Amino acid sequence: KQEVTQIPAALSVPEGENLVLNCSFTDSAIYNLQWFRQDPGKGLTSLLLIQSSQREQTSGRLNASLDKSSGRSTLYIAASQPGDSATYLCAVDTDKLIFGTGTRLQVFP
């Protein structure tokens, strides 16, 4: 059974810091991995999708990597801003999306 874990569960950093969010999964047989952002009481916004054949994807200040063999993905956020404060969820696609419970990020001025 696929299980997805995200560490840390919560993170508080000052503005401007570079930070890394971690996602691990137990079964490497995945089609892709998606990172989402969720603001309090809101839906999910897709940030990045990494196909199983890829090793990383970049969008602006975000960079996501994927290492299928070790069952790990990281989301790197450069020069964090208060507007980045949200919960970040990773999800692996194994013909359905299996989500982690997220990392709650707070960036303070």
Binding site for another protein (CB under 8 A): 4, 31-32, 34, 36, 41-46, 49, 51-52, 89, 93, 95-97, 99-102
Smallest distance from another protein to CB 44, Å: 4
d(CA 57, CA 37): 16
- Smaller CB separation from another protein, 4 or 64: 4
Q: Quick one: 62 exposed, middle or buried, by C-beta within 10 A (0-12, 13-18, 19+)?
A: middle
CB 21 within 8 A of CB 74: yes
Smallest distance from another protein to CB 49, Å: 5
- Smaller CB separation from another protein, 12 or 18: 12
Based on C-alpha coordinates, what's the Rg of the chain?
A: 13
- Smaller CB separation from another protein, 77 or 89: 89
Q: Is the sign of the CA dihedral 62, 67, 68, 70 positive or negative? A: negative
Smallest distance from another protein to CB 4, Å: 8
